[in-house]
Amino acid sequence: MIRVTNLGLAIDGKTILHDISARIPPQGLTAVIGPNGAGKSSLLYCLSGLTRPTSGQVSIDGADITAARTTDRARMLALLPQVTPALPRLTVADLVAFGRWPHHRGRPNDTDRRIVAQAIRDLDLDDLLDRRLDTLSGGQRQRAFIAMNHAQSTPWMLLDEPLSALDPRYASDIMARLVELSRPGTGRAIVVVMHDLAMAVRHADWVICLKAGRLFRSGPPSETLTGAGLSALFDTPIHVEHLRGRPVVIID
């Protein structure tokens, strides 16, 4: 479980996050939603330990993340930044192999190679193995980066807007894979910053809503992703209806 207590973050005197306390369950998919500039990415970076909060604490499975050593942290959680470098010369196989770095630090053994091969299979990248990253489509590229995070074999995976700039087909493909990777029994929980409310409604097991740097609401989708809740969160009329048994988000 990730437990956030009274988390605050200020950068250059500007308050980004204010007194956030929340918990994130240790399995399934947690969506972080909220309007632009609400501090979603900042919260994710605080969770990852890459950004040190100004006040408060983040504890992951009982350990204070800011106190953890870099290597231990990298074995505990994987982060996919929103913007990834182009890396034109790397192949998919090269990229996924990077995921094992925290475990071997430059000297991969057979176990590392086996896990990399498995990660490549899990994300159906076998056909793209030797393709260079600059020849991939946006969706394939995102899949390769997620395979790298998957190979890192961490109990926690944090993704910063992995669906941005993907068309619906790729976005739902990526989302389905994330659900697959965080199924109960895999020993992994995934936290995703996202804008697509339809996807959140459809796939999230837990939701953190941020507004203007504060925690607006958090809980299971049945409590957080309601018409009234979303309307207040985004200051715009939003309805959640049910169509063929599934929740559907309608924005006025």
Pattern 145-174, other proteins, x by CB under 8 A: -------x----------------------
How far, in Å, CA of 52 to CA of 248, rounded? 37
**Torsion sign over Cα 64, 43, 52, 98:** positive
Task: In whole angstroms, give the CA distance from residue 238 to residue 233.
Answer: 10
Residues 26-85 that bind other proteins (CB under 8 A): 48, 50, 70-75, 77-79, 81, 83-85
Which residue lies nearer to other proteins by CB, 158 or 197?
158
Instruction: Tell me the two tokens of residue 243.
Output: 């169509």
Which of 159, 209 has the CB closer to other proteins?
159
CA dist 243 and 247 (Å) reads: 6
Would you list the DSSP string of 113-137?
HHHHHHHHHHTT-GGGTT-BGGGS-
β-strands 55-60, 63-64: how paired?
A: antiparallel
Q: Please work out, in degrees rounded to the nearest 5, the angle formed at the alpha carbon of residue 164 by the alpha carbons of 81 and 102.
A: 20
Can you tell me whether residue 98 is helix, strand or coil?
helix
Residues near other proteins (CB under 8 A), total: 26
Which C-beta is closer to other proteins: that of 145 or that of 234?
145
Q: Which is nearer to other proteins, 76 or 120 (CB)?
A: 76
- CB of 149: closest distance to other proteins in angstroms? 9
- Say how far apart CA 205 and CA 145 lie, in whole Å: 23
The amino acid occupying position 201 is V
Least separation in angstroms between residue 243's CB and other proteins is 39
Which residue stretch of 97-105, 120-128, 136-144, 230-238 sits at the interface with other proteins (rule: CB under 8 A)?
A: 97-105
Taking the complex as a whole, the smallest distance from the CB of residue 102 to other proteins amounts, in Å, to 4
**Contact between 238 and other proteins per CB under 8 A:** no
- Shortest distance, position 158 Cβ to other proteins, whole Å: 8
Tell which one of 3, 59, 87, 247 touches other proteins (CB under 8 A): 87
Distance CA 39, CA 159 (A): 14
Query: CB of 99: closest distance to other proteins in angstroms?
Result: 8
Nearer to other proteins, 28 or 49 (CB): 49
Residue numbers at the binding site for other proteins (CB under 8 A): 48, 50, 70-75, 77-79, 81, 83-85, 87, 89-90, 94, 98-99, 101-102, 105-106, 152
